[in-house]
Chains A and B, each alone.
Chain A
């Protein structure tokens, strides 16, 4: 297959206006020195968008003339009330991502517009499993972030969701929290339950995790009405931020958001996708504002199991695709850049003639973040944490040198 990557980059340099460039993947520096201070340890947030977020909607490559033709009702305008936010001559941001635009300008956002896991099917469930377990097989029941915990000493993790997601599942212990509207329970009952569950491996473990986490919750916040049907409700994100900010709190946290599977009525400047992006943008703003003191040592990784079809479908939506978007946001991010090759939208550039080609393996970016931000040894990246991935080089330069 003849990837026209080089040609694309030449074209982009000519179009580039605001100075955003697409560097080649720089080689990993021999000794990465991540910033790890006791007062402000390196923190990582994994924000997983379930359902296949449309990367071309979040990061519209408006510089590609054919976009309008491929997406007559979904391509965003470049002028008018709902105009996209241009970044360079090729890429823009959806106008409901103003915080992302601010972060980009402040050099605290990296955008990767064409990434993918090794998964090449189009099932949400298998796609998510492979994104989360960091392998090439959906059946692996342990997540790469759990293996990261097993391979390192100083990290602790919390899943802010009703159940521990696969990315954090595995032998390494993690905590789990989500808000409750039920009345609290008393200590005596909990003590007796501990005794009752002593011979039961599953229940005793879960009870211990539950009681540890409850101890860290701000009860007022937890009792505040958290609207269940909302994507990334404000109070939930605020509480997640508080967990991260707590002095003995976790330094790794996962969040998730659904509602991205826009098969119909996706909308352009307005509509389903726009509303989802607005909620995502708001969540990042809350993290940034609540974690002001810790923000300069935080990386938030935002991605989805795959992107969506390049052409819109018969119901003003898009179907499951392959290449998609990934964002790195945070004060520790070496941002204001777009990384990875851009394969283009020409019919010969697409994967199977319908999807954006995943030019960068998601694991390359994750390895770069783990190495440079969390000081994970390079050797561990290529076989323990992401098994059988020696051919995937870690992408360097993603994190600000300390």
Chain B
């Protein structure tokens, strides 16, 4: 019989485990979690994906061709399908990786940070690189310092394109004075509001503008011929950079070129408001929507005392008593539900297009949260009547297909252990068929939450 803590380690910190794995983990759940937080090479599932620079240039080339064809009144060759193919390959790969990984806590953290630094593919220029962005700017940095993660994200072409910074021009820069084009505040605003200090973090509009000025020139290479730089990669274009010092949160930054922006980001990465904001977000994601202020303070202090070293913060998170209390407060998102269902039943995932389409149907189109704020950490966002009905429909149809290979009553005990309520045990036992029995198990409150 597995213990509460084993179950919690697997479902709250991981993505769920089959009964055999829960038995194996047993009382060593602490070690099981820590060993997942070791650096490791890029997993096999993700190895076949081209790099973002190549795909971004492909995207831009096709858009340019389309513009030229339109001007010349030629028939435009549609390329949406190719871009969508990349998108589906990447979204499916990361979902499959979460289903099979021996480091589900690591995968969960990748998804957490990817959502914190969200981009959204409803902006077509990033459709084919959303997964690449996650592999290149998030995955390698989540065990290090927040500062390095932030710098990787802000300088990644996907983010620079998504939030329009790549075409932002300092008004007094060479290009600015010539072209009378100007500043775009989008990235700067979202860095302050969503990535670091948070909307109540104490910044003003003037700080947004100042940061935006510092970030002018942070662009993508090789897209405009005169801009230079390695195609599809971060390129600093001094001609577009707003000259002069800027003041952010009362401090003056007189550095030149990209160093100005880097220095500001480094300071934001160690700001107490950032530590507070990140602490709350981690609590909200892992434990509950109502953060306990004492726990958040512990996370904040861990962040500040260790200069934003994320491993130190994770250690505190994994040791919070709130993290281990048996009541599950978090309703599983569609993504979590699908991953945990396939993991727990050890089913092989459907093929790419079906898999991605399924999670979309359940209400969570992967890499398309629709805004840089990402998916909200709110149960009420996912449990609305219509989304609940869709889960029911999917689980009903899945259970029909797989119930022959499963013994639902034994599974209920093995899977939920001490969490299995009398009511669920009874419903599973009295169902009219194995298929209905499995459906009720998967739809049980114990499986629907973590």
Contact = CB atoms under 8 A, between A and B. Distances in A.
Interface of A: 121-126, 138, 159, 162-164, 169, 175-178, 180-186, 188-190, 192-193, 195-200, 202-203, 206-207, 209-214, 228-229, 258-259, 263-264, 313-315, 317, 319-320, 352
A180 B423 contact: no
Nearest to B393: A182
Given A315-B168, A319-B184, 14 more contacts: A123-B199, A162-B384, A163-B381, A176-B385, A178-B387, A183-B393, A184-B393, A196-B440, A200-B445, A210-B392, A228-B360, A258-B370, A263-B164, A314-B176
Nearest to B185: A319
A6 B414 CA distance: 75
A189 B439 contact: yes
Contacts of A263: 164, 184, 186
B373 A125 contact: yes
Contacts of A264: 164, 167, 184
Contact of A198 (B390, B393, B423): B423
| Residue of B122, B183, B389, B427 with highest tally of chain A CB at under 10 A | B389
Contacts of A209: 384-385
A91 B164 CA distance: 31
Contact of A314 (B169, B193, B360, B444): B169
The 6 closest A-B pairs by CB, nearest first: A314-B182, A210-B385, A209-B385, A182-B393, A314-B181, A210-B389
A180 B386 contact: yes
A185 B169 contact: no
A177 B164 contact: no
B205 A314 contact: no
Nearest to B365: A228
Interface bin, chain B: 35 or more
Contact of A124 (B164, B371, B380, B389): B371
A182 B361 contact: yes
Contacts of B386: 162, 176-178, 180, 210, 213
B14 to A, nearest CB: 23
Interface of B: 122, 164, 167-169, 171, 176, 181-186, 189, 193, 199, 205, 331, 360-361, 363, 365, 370-371, 373, 379-390, 392-394, 396-397, 423-424, 427, 431-432, 436, 439-440, 443-445, 448
A134 to B, nearest CB: 18
12 contacts: A163-B382, A176-B384, A185-B396, A186-B396, A189-B392, A197-B445, A200-B445, A210-B385, A210-B392, A313-B183, A314-B167, A319-B184
Contacts of A126: 199
A181 B171 CA distance: 49
Nearest to A195: B427
B167 A163 contact: no
Nearest to A258: B370
A183 B397 contact: yes
| Residue of A122, A200, A206 with highest tally of chain B CB at under 10 A | A206
A259 B122 contact: yes
A263 B373 CA distance: 16
Contacts of B181: 314-315
Contact of B184 (A124, A162, A196, A313): A313
B415 to A, nearest CB: 16
